[in-house]
Structure 1
Amino acid sequence: MNDGGNFHIGDAVTQIGGSGNTGIYKNQASAADPQAAFRDMIQAIQVMRGQVSAEDRQVIDDSLQTIGNGANADPGTMRRALTAIAGVATMVGQVGVPVVEAVRRVMALFGG
């Protein structure tokens, strides 16, 4: 990227507030690979899970149990569980952004 004569190659990371932030979520799923997108979404959810309240963790855990590995989940049930996770991600702010994006990608790939 060219920024006024300066060149940057690689990841650019901005941390917005918070404490105990660890790791970085990087989306590496192919647009055509629903299972890879699902795995990346689960990874993003796990990163976020460690930074939310106990109540939000319970919503996440219940939703993850509902969707399992995504293979045999009823589409309506999966959509409701992913919507619950995306709701938590939206409410927690910047740390939830990768989860919201990953959920949208999975829902589109799985026909939701």
Structure 2
Amino acid sequence: MSGDHFHGDVVNLYGGTDNKGIVHHHHAPGPDGERVTAELTRAVQDLVTLLRELRAGVAPMAAESIDEALPALTVGPLAVPRERHRALMAVAGIAATVGAVGVPVVEAVQRVLGLLGGQ
């Protein structure tokens, strides 16, 4: 196998018990990565503020849906991309149905999605 080049993770497990898999410690490279993370954090905070304001003016079922979405709108190691995406789509849908008052929420969701790379 001389000359083979592998890019990425190579894992060899020999015996053992309770192997959990690979723990990746990926960090954004350099100051640009930190700026994006800070910008994303700010964008999500702005969205949450707008959602709390919107919540007061929507029907009880829509308010409940907003409440259910809020925990998934996180940034950092606890964020679950699929759950966050579903939550973003849910709150964007609610905001779109309430007319002009929901426009800032839809725009905030679009900003967050843009910062996440269009997830």
> Structure 1 length normalisation: TM-score?
0.67
The one-character-per-residue Cα deviations of 1:62-106 (angstroms, maximum 9, x if unpaired) are 111233x33222111110111000000000111110000000100
Counterpart pick for 2:55 among 40, 44, 49 = 49
Counterpart pick for 1:90 among 59, 78, 96 = 96
Counterpart pick for 1:70 among 75, 90, 113 = 75
Aligned length: 81
The one-character-per-residue Cα deviations of 1:38-83 (angstroms, maximum 9, x if unpaired) are 111111111111110100001100111233x332221111101110
Task: Please list every run of at least 4 consecutive aligned residues from structure 1 whose deviation after the TM superposition is greater than 4 angstroms.
Answer: none
Asked if the contact 2:40–2:75 (Cα under 8 Å) also holds between the matched residues in 1, the reply is no
**Contiguous gaps of at least 5 residues in structure 1:** 1-30
3-state DSSP of counterpart to 1:61:
helix
| 1:20 alignment partner in structure 2 | none
Asked if the contact 2:96–2:103 (Cα under 8 Å) also holds between the matched residues in 1, the reply is yes
| 1:108 alignment partner in structure 2 | 114
Deviation for aligned residue 1:108: 1.1
Question: Residues of 2 paired with 1:104 and 1:56: CA distance?
Answer: 20
Question: Residues of 1 paired with 2:72 and 2:43: CA distance?
Answer: 18
> Structure 2 length normalisation: TM-score?
0.63
- The structure with the greater share of residues assigned to helix is 2
Question: Residues of 2 paired with 1:70 and 1:47: CA distance?
Answer: 21
Structure (1 or 2) with the larger CA radius of gyration: 2
Q: Percent identity?
A: 38
The CA RMSD measured in Å over matched residues stands at 1.6
